[in-house]
Structure 1
Amino acid sequence: MPRRPASALAEKWTRIDGVDVFYRESPRPPADARVMAHVHGFGLSGRYLLPTAERLADEFHTYVPDLPGFGRSGKRRDMLDIPDLARATADFFDDRGVEKATLVGNSMGCPVILEFAHHYPERIDRAVLVSPAGGLFNQPLRRAIRQLTTDAPREPVKMARVAVPDYVRFGVPSTTRMFKALVSYPSLERLLELRIPTLVVLGERDPLLPHAHRVGEIASQTDTHVLIVLLEGAAHAINFSHPEQLAHIIRTFMDDLPMKNDPAWPADVRLYEVHRGAHHPPAKDAG
């Protein structure tokens, strides 16, 4: 009996600068589809991003790479800080012939996107930052570990089956070095200098982040293009735990439509708009 594919996306390999890179891609994207790439978090592969990515793959030319040093991709000694991972993302786009894309990140993937936008502003259309990690709120390491320990039981049990093998493969030395790079990265500074439409999605139960209204206060202090949405009932790994809701939020943002709840969602899952930047594209009514 043939093996059931692990994903509705096509599984592929390429070789970039002597390193084997594993990625997933929309099997049959529309010819005029906008490109969307999903960037994974700390120590993880792109596998846990698939529930959301798959729901968007018929509308967008979707890529979900395992960055070098993560998941099934090969390792490089210089792939353990945020600027290196941003360059690796640009190298992946070069290899795939992608000139410009929307980037969707979770956790550590958000600083990678911010660094990508800082160095390659002409190559990013929009940014979607889901549960951004790093900075003072996650320091020192023991505090971050407590936050992760608090978050674990708030995530679906199936998340552990995906995450644990990835963390084991990533290893302790890489974890220590990557954590230092992550918490020293100037995420807030980079976020506030963005000049592209940017969506930040925060989980109301996420212990790794300050309260959503505090993030909104910070964003409101400058002239930004940032839209901040709070998803009630979600914790940190929103891409895995709430893919239907997140795909809806991303789709709405990409089409510049008003943020609205779906009546079919469970009663304990609701979205709230926390902040809309002055120069964020005005929402247009559907239809």
Structure 2
Amino acid sequence: MKETLLPYHFPTKYLQLKEGEIAYVKEGKGKKVLIFVHGLSSNSDAWYRNIEELKKDFTCIAIDLPGYGRSFKNADEFTATYFADILNEFAEKLKLKKFTLVGHSMGGQASIKFASKYPEKLDKLILIAPAGIEEFTEFEGNAMNMVMNPKTIMATSDEQIDRNYQMNFFKMLKEAEQMIQDRKNIKKSADFEQHAIAIQKSVKGMLDDKVIDDLTKIKTPTLFLFSKNDMLIPNKYLHPLLTIDELSKTAKESINGSKLVMIDDAGHFLQFEKPTEVNAAIKEFMSCK
């Protein structure tokens, strides 16, 4: 995928972990460190509209998780626990003693697991439309796994890719054109099948490696950000009666003392669609003791 992805908005760095090479970006020289963790089918460049502003006050690091972007693709599993362990190894390699995780969607679920498993490493926790709050039955999970299989992923047409991305936004942005083009271009990559397998295993991992019980164990100061017009969570097909207000309330009540910010006129990709509002919420939360 390295050869087909368009250049990221910030220079790409690489770090060798036990299993393979991890790609990441690092901007800013602030004392406080933010590590950004992307969601399903995404990469570190998804955070560039946030890093542009936040690098003025913080050291901003965004990782390409295994299976995604310019990082290695082969792994036996892609669960929240696996990603949490990767994040821990990554942070140790960079000699980071204390930092804040900023996780979106699947990256939010991985960040929840990290906070439960490695609480001593965290300064604060910021969860943006995190996966793992909404629970699914075994039947619902099996249905989702059947749909998200490598062959189906690899056969996705350009037109369907456009529709899929439109579902992530309240109002489509021209700034999203690069990520959409990247998704189309990677169909030509030599490792596209490995990437498709990673997506399938990631979906299974989110369903199997639940974090709902981890939430109550978290003592780290936590900020939840949800958007009022999210079309992806809660799942409109499997849980048509569940509202985003109910889901966000469940999230907030699960972590004692956590804060909740709702963003207007934004879809699931709220940090990209409304960077000014999200960045302001992050700055305010980080300034609190």
Distance in 1, matches of 2:131 and 2:249, equals 18
Letter in 2 for 1:89: L
Query: How big is each residue's C-alpha offset from its partner over 1:80-137, in whole Å with a ceiling of 9 and x where there is no partner?
Result: 2211111110111011110111000111000110111111110011111001124436
Partner of 2:237: none
Distance 1:64 1:157 in 2: 22
Q: Whose relative contact order is higher, 1 or 2, with alpha carbons under 8 Å and at least 6 apart?
A: 2
| Structure that is richer in strand per residue | 1
Q: How much has 1:70 moved relative to structure 2?
A: 1.1
Mapped to 2, the partners of 1:21 and 1:251 lie a distance apart of 27
Check whether the contact 1:78–1:84 (CA below 8 A) recurs between aligned residues: no
Change (3 A) 1:83 1:221: closer
Secondary structure of 1:213's aligned partner: helix
Kindly provide the CA deviation profile for residues 14-55 of structure 1, in whole angstroms up to 9, marking residues without a partner as x: 2111512111001x514xx11110001012111111111221
Task: Look up the match of 1:197.
Answer: 221
> How many angstroms apart in 2 are the aligned matches of 1:207 and 1:248?
23
Q: How does 1:24-103 map to 2 (within 5 A)?
A: 24-26=25-27, 28-30=28-30, 33-103=31-101
Give 3-state SS (helix, strand or coil) of 2:126's partner: strand
Aligned AA for 1:196? T
In the alignment, is the contact (CA less than 8 A) between 1:196 and 1:225 conserved in 2?
A: no
Report if the CA contact (8 A) 2:266-2:274 is conserved.
Answer: yes
Q: What's the counterpart of residue 207 of structure 2? A: 183
SS at match of 2:203: helix
Shift of 1:172: 2.9
- Superposition TM-score, scaled by structure 1 size: 0.77
- Deviations along 1:252-275, one digit per CA (max 9) or x if unpaired, are 11112xxxxxxxxxxxxxxxxxxx
Counterpart CA distance in 1 for 2:253 and 2:117 is 24
CA contact (8 A) 2:169 2:267 kept: no
2:218 and 2:255 in contact (8 A); partners too? no
Separation in 1 of the partners of 2:166 and 2:179?
Answer: 18
Is residue 162 from structure 1 mapped to residue 179 from structure 2 by the alignment? yes
Q: Distance in 1 between the 2:71 and 2:50 partners?
A: 21
Q: Secondary structure at the match of 2:72?
A: coil
Partner of 1:242: 274
Contact 2:227 2:267 survives alignment (8 Å): yes
- AA at the equivalent of 1:162: M
What's the offset of the Cα at 1:217?
3.8
Measure the CA separation in 2 of the matches of 1:104 and 1:63: 10
- Counting matched residue pairs gives 250
Aligned match of 1:214: 246
Computed over aligned residues only, the root mean square deviation of the Cα atoms, in angstroms, reads: 2.9
CA distance in 2: counterparts of 1:19 and 1:230, whole angstroms:
38
AA aligned opposite 2:22: V
Would you say the 8 A contact 1:111–1:185 is kept in 2? no
SS of aligned partner of 2:36? strand
SS of the aligned residue for 1:136 comes to coil
Q: Partners in 1 of 2:284 and 2:249 — Cα distance?
A: 23
The amino acid that maps onto 1:205 is N
Structure 2 CA distance, aligned partners of 1:148 and 1:88?
28
Cα deviation, residue 222, structure 1: 5.5
2:167 to 142, 151, 154: 151
1:171 partner SS: helix
Paired letter, 2:83: L
Instruction: Say if 1:171 and 1:23 are closer, same or farther in 2 by CA, change over 3 A.
Output: closer
Distance 1:141 1:158, change over 3 A: farther
Query: Normalising by structure 2, what TM-score?
Result: 0.76
Match of 1:108 among 106, 109, 123: 106
Give the letter for the 1:201 counterpart. L
Q: Return the alpha-carbon distance in structure 2 between the equivalents of residues 100 and 241 of structure 1.
A: 29
Runs of 5+ consecutive residues of structure 1 not aligned to the other structure: 257-280, 282-287
Equivalent pair of 1:151/1:207 in contact (CA under 8 Å):
yes
Contact kept in structure 1, 2:168 and 2:267, CA below 8 Å: no
The structure carrying a bigger helix percent of its residues is: 2
